[in-house]
């Protein structure tokens, strides 16, 4: 995804589409965010009436928060790293388990400018979506740009992935 394409209007449109889909089926959403620091939840609650479909958001920036808020095992973080498909899957599942929502989206990544490694360079972001029926799906992407661009692209991809999965889960 090109960083220049993810502007505020695009994010607002994606959020409105997520809201419409959730409302149409009487479902609710929970977010578990690390590198985005609550940006997805902020976009959701920017919409009037979001209390009908947005259940809660959890910012789990530290490893301790991932463990305490979402039940991610410390051994999993140690083995795979906080930025991994395994941990983001556990974040998404934990978000559903610690809420009254039907769908969860979780993100964990390295937005930069520092913090990268040869195995996980800056721009590495893991996405997790927990769906009804104990289904959890993950993706990993290498996103381009500075910290702001990586975070914007992360929010957009998280919402796009949620839309795709909701259509499949309820369609």
pLDDT in tens, 101-115: 999 999 999 999 999
| Amino acid 166: pLDDT | 94
Average pLDDT over every residue of 58-69: 98
Contact 18, 167 (CB under 8 A): no
Distance, CA of 152 to CA of 171 (rounded, Å): 28
- For residue 52, the domain's CATH number is 3.90.950.20
Q: What is the separation of C-alpha 161 from the centre of its chain, rounded to a whole number of angstroms?
A: 9
Q: How far is CA 83 from CA 4, 14, 35, 147, in A?
A: 24, 24, 9, 16
* CB neighbours of residue 135 within 10 Å: 13
Does residue 54 have a pLDDT over 70?
Answer: yes
Output the pTM of the full model: 0.95
Dihedral angle computed from the Cα positions of residues 60, 16, 102 and 150, in that order, rounded to the nearest 10 degrees:
-30
| Total number of domains in the chain | 1
Q: Which structural domain range is residue 44 located in? A: 3-170
| Amino acid 141: pLDDT | 98
| Amino acid 130: pLDDT | 98
Instruction: Using DSSP, state whether 100 is helix, strand or coil.
Output: coil
């Amino acid at each position: 995804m090109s960083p220049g394409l993810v502007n505020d209007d695009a994010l607002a449109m994606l959020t409105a589409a997520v809201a419409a889909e959730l409302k149409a089926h009487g479902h609710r959403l929970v977010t578990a965010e690390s590198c985005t620091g609550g940006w997805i939840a902020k976009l959701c609650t920017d919409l009037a009436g979001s209390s009908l479909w947005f259940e809660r958001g959890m910012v789990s920036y530290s490893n301790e928060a991932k463990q305490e808020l979402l039940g991610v095992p410390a051994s999993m973080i140690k083995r795979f790293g906080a930025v991994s498909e395994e941990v983001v899957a556990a974040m998404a599942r934990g978000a559903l388990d610690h809420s009254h929502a039907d769908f969860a989206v979780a993100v964990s990544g390295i937005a930069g400018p520092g913090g990268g490694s040869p195995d996980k360079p800056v721009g590495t972001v893991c996405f997790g979506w927990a769906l009804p029926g104990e289904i959890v799906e993950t993706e990993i992407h290498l996103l381009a740009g500075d910290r702001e661009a990586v975070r914007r692209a992360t929010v957009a991809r998280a919402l796009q992935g949620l839309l795709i999965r909701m259509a499949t889960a309820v369609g």
